[in-house]
C-alpha cells in the first residue's frame, strides 16, 4: 500500500489539495472554489497569481536570477529606493539580505543591541515575531512554552493593549494608557536595566488581531525615547497596504526606529523581506546578518510590482473602504450572533473574537468554525498565539465590495449552522 501524504509530510495538511489560484480564490482538485480570508498570513496580499507580479517575475527570470547582494541589480535597487521613499521620513536604510519575517526581526534586534550596547528586549504578551530561536525567545508567552529551551536571555513581556480584555481592568476612555505607563514597573522590577529594544506589532498578527488603541503607539514612542529604548515595529503582517496605508506606522502616526517587513511585500507569494532602519541603527556591519535567499532579484522584481500597485492612492482607498464595509457588516452580525464578542480591525486586517455565554474565550467553537469554513468556501484561520478564539478576516487587498459581502454572508450562514 502506498503511504499517504499525511504519513510522510512532517506537518499537518488539510484533506483538500489545491491546484490553482486566481485573484482572491483558491481552487481544489475537484474545482471547488474557496475565498482566502487569511492572505495576510499566507503572504498573498495581492491574491493569487496577480498578473503584474507574475509578469514581473517572468521578465526577471529571463533576464537575471541572482541571489548575491555583492552586485547591484535593478530590482533590488528599486525596492530599496521605493521602500525608503514610502516609509516614515526617519527611516533611511533598507536591508534586504533577509529571507523572511523572523530574519528581519532578528536583524533589527541585533542592530538595536549593537547601537545601544544593551541586550534585553521587551515584547508584548500575545506577540508573535517568528519561530527562529531568537524570535521565539522574544515573542509572547505561547511561544516560550515550547518543548525545547528558549536560549535568549533578557526577554521581557509586558501587557498588550487588549482593550476588550484589559489586563488592568480599565475602560479605554479613562485608562490613561496604563498599558504604557506601567511598563516602567516592569523595567524596574523585571528587567536587568539593560533594555535595548521594544518590538511591537501595530495589530497583532497571530495573537488575536489586537489593535493598538488611539494614542498608544505615539505614547509608546515617547516612552521609548524617555528610556533610550529602540522602537521596532514588526509590520510583517500590517505592512504594504494591509491597513489602507502603505505602513501601519502611518495609520497610527508613529515614527519607529525600524520597521520589519515580510509576507505582504511579495504580493503574490514571492519570498522577500526587509528591515528599514534609521541612521542610528545602521551601524551593525552587514556581514553579521546576511542570508542567502535575501535580496534575490527574482523576489525583488515581484516586490517592485507589488509596491507599484499598492502605492496607488485609489488602491489604498479601496482597502480602507472595503475594510470599513466588512467591519460594519460584521458589527451587524455581532448584534445577531451571541457568540461574537468583539469585532476589530483596520483596513483589511480584521479579527472576530468569539466568546462563551459568560464572556470566556470560545476556543473550541472558533476552531470548529475555521474547520467548517472549507465546506462554506472560506479559508479561515484562527489567532493561535492569543487565546485562539479570534477568526482572522484578512483577505487579499484586491477584494471587491461584492466579494466582501460574499465573505460576510457565508460567515453568517456558518455561524447560524454552528449555533443550530
Ligand atoms: N512577525 C509576524 C507579525 C508574523 O506574523 C510572522 C509570521 N507569522 C513573523 C514575524 C515571522 O515571519 P516568517 O515566518 O517569514 O519568518
Distance from residue 125's CA to the centre of ligand 1 (Å)? 16
pLDDT of residue 1: 80
Nearest CA, atom 10, ligand 1: 129
DSSP line for 320-387: HHHHHHHHHHHHHHHHH-TTEEEEEEETTEEEEEEB-TTS-B-HHHHHHHHHHHGGGTEE-EE-TTTT
DSSP 13: -
130 lines ligand 1 (CB under 6 A): yes
d(CA 291, CA 395): 30
β-strand 155-158 against 195-200: which pairing, if any?
Answer: unpaired
What is the pairing mode between strands 195-200 and 93-95? unpaired
Looking from the CA of residue 101, the nearest atom of ligand 1 is 12
- Is residue 237 lining ligand 1, measured as CB closer than 6 Å? yes
pLDDT in tens, the chain (420 residues): 888 999 999 999 999 999 999 999 999 999 999 999 999 888 899 999 999 999 999 999 999 999 876 789 999 999 999 999 999 999 999 999 999 999 999 999 999 999 999 999 999 999 999 999 999 999 997 777 888 988 898 999 999 999 999 999 999 999 999 999 999 999 999 999 999 999 999 999 999 999 999 999 999 999 999 999 999 999 999 999 999 999 999 999 999 999 999 999 999 999 999 999 999 999 999 999 999 999 999 999 999 999 999 999 999 999 999 999 999 999 999 999 999 999 999 999 999 999 999 999 999 999 999 999 999 999 999 998 889 999 999 999 999 999 999 999 999 999 999 988
CA distance 23 to 143: 33
Cα of first residue to Cα of last residue in the chain, in angstroms, is: 41
Which of the 8 DSSP states describes residue 147? S
Distance CA 245, CA 234 (A): 15
Q: How far is the CA of 29 from the centre of ligand 1 (A)?
A: 29
Question: Using CA atoms, how far apart are residues 245 and 253, in angstroms rounded to an integer?
Answer: 11
Q: Identify the residue whose C-alpha is closest to ligand 1 atom 7.
A: 130
- How deeply is 334 buried, as exposed, middle or buried, from its count of CB atoms within 10 A (0-12, 13-18, 19+)? middle
Residues 335 and 329: their CA atoms lie apart, in Å, by 10
In this structure, the number of other CB atoms found within 10 A of the CB of residue 325 comes to: 15
Give residue 417 CA to ligand 1 midpoint distance, Å: 33
Report CA(204)–ligand 1 centroid distance (Å): 11
CA of 127, closest atom in ligand 1? 3
Interatomic CA distance for residues 99 and 97, integer angstroms: 7
- Say how far apart CA 169 and CA 194 lie, in whole Å: 29
Atom of ligand 1 nearest to the CA of 130: 11
Looking from the CA of residue 206, the nearest atom of ligand 1 is 5
Atom of ligand 1 nearest to the CA of 238: 3
Ligand 1 atom at shortest distance from the alpha carbon of 201:
3
Grid coordinates of 374: 472549507
Those residues with Cβ within 8 angstroms of residue 271's Cβ, 6 or more apart along the chain or in another chain: 43, 99, 100, 293, 299
Q: What's residue 197's pLDDT?
A: 98
Distance from Cα 141 to the centre of ligand 1, integer Å: 16
Burial of 396 (0-12, 13-18, 19+ CB in 10 A): buried
Instruction: Give yes or no for residue 128 CB within 6 A of ligand 1.
Output: yes
Q: Report CA 7 to chain centroid distance, whole Å.
A: 31
**DSSP codes, 205-266:** TTTT-PBPPTTHHHHHHHHHHHTT-EEEEE-TTTTTTTTSSSSHHHHHT---SEEEE-GGGG
At residue 54, the pLDDT reads 98
Helix (H, G, I), strand (E, B) or coil at 259: strand
Run of H or E including 74: helix 74-86
Ligand 1 centroid, distance to 115 Cα (angstroms): 24
Residue 140 in contact with ligand 1 by CB distance below 6 A: no
Helix extents (H) in 207-272 = 216-226, 248-252
DSSP 420: -
CB of 205 shorter than 6 A to ligand 1: yes
202 contact partners, CB below 8 Å, separation of at least 6: 211, 212, 217, 233, 235, 238, 243, 248, 249, 251, 252
Q: Which three cell numbers stand for residue 32?
A: 471547488
- pLDDT at 420 (0 to 100): 80
pLDDT at 413: 98
* Number of CB atoms found within 10 A of residue 407's CB: 24
Is 350 within 8 Å of 326 (Cβ atoms)?
yes
Cell output for 248: 501601519
The predicted complex's ipTM stands at 0.99
In 3D, which of 122, 106, 94 has the Cα closest to residue 230? Answer: 122
* Ligand 1 centre distance from Cα of residue 130 (Å): 5
The domains found in the chain, sorted by start residue, are 5-49+313-419 (3.90.1150.10), 53-310 (3.40.640.10)
Contact 128, 134 (CB under 8 A): no
C-alpha of residue 332 to centroid of ligand 1, in Å: 32
Distance 77 CA to ligand 1 centre (A): 24
Q: What are phi and psi of 114, to 5 degrees?
A: -65, -45
How many Å lie between the centroid of ligand 1 and the Cα of residue 236? 6
Amino acid at each position: 500500500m502506498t503511504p499517504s501524504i499525511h504519513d510522510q509530510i512532517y506537518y499537518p495538511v488539510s484533506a483538500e489539495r489545491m491546484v490553482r489560484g486566481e485573484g482572491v480564490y483558491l481552487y481544489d482538485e475537484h474545482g471547488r472554489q474557496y475565498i482566502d480570508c487569511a492572505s495576510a498570513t499566507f503572504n498573498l496580499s495581492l491574491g493569487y497569481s496577480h498578473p503584474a507580479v507574475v509578469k514581473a517575475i517572468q521578465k526577471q527570470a529571463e533576464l537575471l536570477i541572482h541571489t548575491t547582494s555583492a552586485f547591484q541589480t535593478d530590482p533590488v535597487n528599486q525596492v530599496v529606493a521605493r521602500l525608503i521613499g514610502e516609509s516614515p521620513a526617519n527611516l533611511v536604510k533598507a536591508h534586504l539580505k533577509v529571507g523572511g519575517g523572523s530574519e528581519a526581526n532578528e536583524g533589527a534586534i541585533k542592530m538595536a543591541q549593537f547601537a545601544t550596547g544593551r541586550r534585553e528586549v521587551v515584547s508584548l504578551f500575545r506577540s508573535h515575531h517568528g519561530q527562529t530561536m531568537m524570535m521565539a525567545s522574544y515573542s509572547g508567552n505561547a511561544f516560550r512554552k515550547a518543548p525545547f529551551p528558549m536560549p535568549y536571555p533578557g526577554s521581557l513581556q509586558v501587557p498588550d493593549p487588549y482593550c476588550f480584555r484589559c489586563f488592568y481592568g480599565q475602560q479605554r476612555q479613562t485608562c490613561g494608557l496604563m498599558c504604557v505607563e506601567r511598563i516602567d514597573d516592569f523595567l524596574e522590577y523585571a528587567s536587568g536595566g539593560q533594555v535595548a529594544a521594544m518590538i511591537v506589532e501595530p495589530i497583532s498578527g497571530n495573537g488575536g488581531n489586537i489593535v493598538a488603541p488611539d494614542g498608544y503607539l505615539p505614547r509608546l514612542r515617547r516612552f521609548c525615547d524617555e528610556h533610550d529604548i529602540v522602537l521596532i515595529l514588526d509590520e510583517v503582517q500590517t505592512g504594504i497596504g494591509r491597513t489602507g496605508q502603505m505602513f501601519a506606522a502611518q495609520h497610527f502616526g508613529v515614527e519607529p526606529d525600524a520597521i520589519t517587513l515580510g509576507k505582504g511585500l511579495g504580493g503574490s507569494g514571492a519570498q522577500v523581506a526587509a528591515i528599514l532602519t534609521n541612521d542610528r541603527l545602521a551601524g551593525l556591519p552587514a556581514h553579521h546578518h546576511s542570508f542567502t535567499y535575501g535580496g534575490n532579484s527574482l523576489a525583488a522584481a515581484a516586490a517592485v510590482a507589488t509596491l507599484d500597485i499598492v502605492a496607488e492612492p485609489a488602491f489604498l482607498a479601496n482597502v480602507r473602504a472595503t475594510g470599513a464595509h466588512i467591519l460594519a457588516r460584521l458589527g451587524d452580525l455581532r448584534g445577531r450572533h451571541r457568540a461574537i464578542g468583539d469585532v476589530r480591525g483596520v483596513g483589511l486586517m480584521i479579527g472576530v473574537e468569539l466568546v462563551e455565554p459568560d464572556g470566556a474565550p470560545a476556543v473550541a467553537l472558533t476552531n470548529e468554525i475555521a474547520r467548517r469554513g472549507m465546506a462554506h468556501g472560506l479559508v479561515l484561520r484562527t489567532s493561535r498565539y492569543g487565546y485562539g478564539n479570534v477568526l482572522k478576516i484578512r483577505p487579499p487587498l484586491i477584494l471587491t465590495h461584492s466579494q466582501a459581502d460574499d465573505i460576510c454572508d457565508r460567515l453568517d450562514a456558518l455561524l447560524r449552522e454552528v449555533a443550530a
